[in-house]
Amino acid sequence: MLGQTVSCTIYKRAWLKGVTSGIPIEVSTDTIKSNISGAKVTEAKRLKCVRNKEKVDSLSVVLQFDEEKMPERVYIGYVSYLVRAYVPPPVRCFKCQKYGHVAAVCKGNQRCARCSGNHEYGKCGQGTKQKCCNCGGEHSAGFGGCVAHKNAVKIQNVRIHEMSSYAEAIKKVKETEEGQGNGLTVQMNQHNRSSQSQHKGNEDFFKVGKVEFMTFLAEVINCAAQTVSRT
């Protein structure tokens, strides 16, 4: 048009992924895809779980929908199954061990996932202790209880449920944590002021009570002495 080159790009909608539970292990994914109703399903993948230190099939299945909106439930035969948003595990780079990107696009330095050294995994020196390069704890970078891993899980939940970018999810999680921290500080200050006020009130009451008690004790002794002298 007007001598200018125009390029066109076909918009591809992001696939919606949900997970449903309770589907018997005997039911194959092909059977699920061919017999499911309530939404258009393009892929079905059964999740794994650990039993007796071995990975085996679980009762949960991830469904990929070709829909504009996530369905609340699907039907397989005469059974209804609830659907919830699928939150994948957080992505961790196997080069720098940071969360949120993969090694193919990493611009960071090589870090060992076991000892956080500047070398590839498995090339630690003899007797080298475990050290996380994300939090400094005495564990590997892939430890599920790591503070960095827990924070990455929070970011994934926000990203999936609010359908936001990874950067926006990081910002929202940070704002939430700062808000909770400020709320906790206010509660602690209020509690300290209340405790100080209560302590002060108890101290005043104790002083008054002590004087009254000594006066009462003196009267008792005096009365007792008078009784003895009269007898």
Domains of the chain: 16-85 (3.30.70), 89-143 (4.10.60)
Three-state SS letters, the chain: CCCCCCCCCCCCCCCEEEEEECCCCCCCHHHHHHHEECCCEEEEEEEEEEECCEEEEEEEEEEEECCCCCCCEEEECCEEEECEECCCCCCECCCCCCECCCHHHCCCCCCCCCCCCCCCCCCCCCCCCCCCCCCCCCCCCCCCCCHHHHHHHHHHHHHHHCCCCHHHHHHHHHHHHHHHHHHHHHHHHHHHHHHHHHHHHHHHHHHHHHHHHHHHHHHHHHHHHHHHHHC
Please compute the mean of the pLDDT values over residues 70-84 and round it to a whole number.
92
> pLDDT tens across 33-53, in order?
999 999 999 999 999 998 888
**33-to-38, 52, 69, 73, 177 alpha-carbon distances in Å:** 12, 30, 18, 15, 41
Quote the tokens at residue 51. Answer: 């039993």
Give me the residues paired with residue 155 across strands. none
Residue 13 in this model has a pLDDT that exceeds 80: no
At 114, give phi and psi (nearest 5°): -95, -50
Question: Environment class of residue 172 by beta-carbon count within 10 Å: exposed (0-12), middle (13-18) or buried (19+)?
Answer: middle
Half-sphere exposure of residue 142: CA atoms within 13 angstroms, side-chain side? 11
pLDDT band at 208 (very low <50, low <70, confident <90, very high): very low
pLDDT, residue 184, reads 56
Quote the tokens at residue 165. Answer: 């970018």
pLDDT, residue 205, reads 46
High-pLDDT (> 90) share of the chain, % = 45
Give me the residues paired with residue 92 across strands. 99
Q: Which of 1-10, 108-117, 186-195, 216-225 has the highest mean pLDDT?
A: 108-117
pLDDT band at 231 (very low <50, low <70, confident <90, very high): very low
Please compute the mean of the pLDDT values over residues 104-121 and round it to a whole number.
91
pLDDT, residue 223, reads 62
Count of CB atoms within 10 A of residue 192's CB?
Answer: 10
pLDDT band at 16 (very low <50, low <70, confident <90, very high): confident
Residue 21 in this model has a pLDDT that exceeds 70: yes
Residue 62 in this model has a pLDDT that exceeds 80: yes
pLDDT band at 3 (very low <50, low <70, confident <90, very high): confident
Structure pTM?
A: 0.60
> pLDDT tens across 147-171, in order?
999 999 999 888 888 888 888 888 8
